[in-house]
């Protein structure tokens, strides 16, 4: 009846592996009640989906409520929402969640290098080179083990890189769907 299942790649909730999962239709497969929804024709009120655009520049992004954006996108998935549209909402929610986490990492680690990467991501000008650069940053960070005193800054720098890369994978996926 229901296609809910554990993602074999990550074991994570759908919103966290939407962009990184290797399986093409993973998010569709884990839509909890798709067979029920497909049989429901009658509309009973709208959802709370926010059409507000996500920021395209760093300054606005810092003041933006990314978690709130993720919430509104998730709450927008109502019974009458078509499964394909619901999947898009999930990816939008995941994008907001990932950028929000990256921003937390940037703010807490005060990393200027990562800020530049975020600016590129927000402008949707992300490229393979940016991915490679981030991979190099993460590999470099993994080369050494931090002290207990600096582990917070270290982990937050890694967090920024990791979630920027995850957010970029969502952008790529969305671009591929167009």
Instruction: Please give the backbone phi and psi of residue 125, each rounded to the nearest 5 degrees, phi first.
Output: -110, 30
The DSSP string of 77-136 is --TTS-HHHHHHHHHHHHHHHHHHHHHHHHHHHT-HHHHHHHHHHHTT---HHHHHHHHH
62: tokens are 């810092």
1: tokens are 């009846």
Options 23, 37, 119, 172; binder of other proteins; rule CB under 8 A: 37
Rounded least distance, CB 127 to other proteins, Å: 21
Q: Does the protein bind other proteins through residue 93 (CB under 8 A)?
A: yes
Alpha-carbon distance 58 to 38, whole Å?
40
Rounded least distance, CB 40 to other proteins, Å: 7
Residues that contact other proteins, how many (by CB under 8 A) = 59
Rounded least distance, CB 52 to other proteins, Å: 15
- Give me the residues that bind other proteins (CB under 8 A), please: 1-2, 4-7, 10-18, 20, 30-33, 36-37, 40, 42, 44, 48, 67-68, 70-71, 74-75, 77-79, 81, 86, 90, 93-94, 97, 101, 105, 142, 145-148, 150-152, 154-156, 158-159, 162-163, 166
């Amino acid at each position: 009846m229901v296609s809910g299942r554990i993602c074999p790649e990550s074991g994570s909730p759908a919103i966290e592996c939407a962009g990184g999962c290797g399986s093409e239709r993973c998010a569709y497969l884990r839509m909890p009640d798709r067979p029920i929804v497909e049989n429901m024709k009658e509309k009973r009120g709208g959802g709370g989906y926010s059409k507000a655009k996500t920021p395209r520049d760093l300054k606005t992004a810092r003041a933006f409520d990314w978690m709130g954006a993720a919430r509104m996108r998730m709450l927008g998935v109502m019974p009458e929402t078509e499964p394909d549209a619901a999947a898009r909402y999930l990816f939008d929610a995941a994008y907001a969640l990932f950028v929000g986490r990256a921003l937390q990492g940037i703010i807490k680690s005060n990393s200027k290098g990562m800020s530049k990467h975020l600016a590129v991501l927000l402008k949707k000008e992300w490229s393979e080179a940016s991915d490679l650069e981030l991979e190099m940053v993460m590999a470099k960070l993994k080369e050494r083990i931090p002290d207990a005193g600096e582990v917070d800054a270290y982990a937050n720098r890694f967090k920024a890189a990791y979630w920027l890369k995850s957010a970029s994978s969502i952008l790529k996926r969305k671009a591929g769907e167009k």
